């Protein structure tokens, strides 16, 4: 477990550095609620990005196997809580996924709008 936590922390650091170079301001890291967690919350302009980071040592994996619909719902729930507690009502929100493969020359693949919030019945 400690090994996985260290691996995840390395990936998050890498992604935060990338985002800052791209002009984002990091608002929070490892934001936790009773219903879910968000690895990184960043903003640039009028957009707030809720970023899920997946880090591995070796080559790619299927994104759909780690960003399941259940995981998406948990991230969305945590994002709703974050926006409510921070009184964020008038910003564009985006759910991104960053994949970090540590044994590559170019280890980061960044997916903007990797998934969207779907409101059932609304």
Q: Summarize pLDDT for 51-101 with one digit per residue, the tens.
A: 999 988 776 667 777 789 999 999 999 999 999 999 998 899 999 999 988
Sign, CA torsion 101/78/49/27: negative
Domain 2-115 has CATH 3.40.1190.20: no
* Across 2-6, 72-76, 94-98, 102-106, least confident range: 2-6
Percent of the chain exceeding pLDDT 70 equals 87
pTM metric for this prediction: 0.88
Nearest to 74 by CA among 33, 121, 40, 28: 33
Confidence band for 2, pLDDT divided at 50, 70 and 90: very low
Q: What is the pLDDT of residue 103?
A: 75
49 or 116, which is more confident? 49
Domain boundaries, the chain: 2-115
Distance between CA atoms of residues 72 and 76, nearest Å: 6
Q: What is the pLDDT of residue 121?
A: 38
Count Cβ atoms below 10 Å from residue 41 Cβ, excluding itself.
22
Count Cβ atoms below 10 Å from residue 16 Cβ, excluding itself.
19
Percent of the chain exceeding pLDDT 90 equals 63
């Amino acid at each position: 477990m400690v090994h996985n936590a260290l691996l995840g922390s390395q990936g998050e650091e890498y992604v935060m550095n990338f985002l800052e170079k791209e002009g984002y301001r990091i608002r929070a890291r490892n934001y936790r609620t009773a219903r879910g967690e968000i690895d990184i919350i960043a903003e640039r302009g009028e957009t707030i990005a809720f970023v899920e980071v997946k880090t591995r040592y070796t080559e790619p994996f299927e994104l759909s196997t780690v960003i399941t619909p259940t995981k998406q719902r948990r991230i969305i729930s945590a994002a709703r809580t974050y926006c409510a507690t921070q009184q964020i009502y008038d910003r564009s929100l985006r759910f991104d996924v960053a994949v970090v493969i540590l044994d590559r020359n170019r280890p980061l693949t960044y997916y903007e709008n990797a998934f969207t919030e779907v409101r059932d019945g609304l």
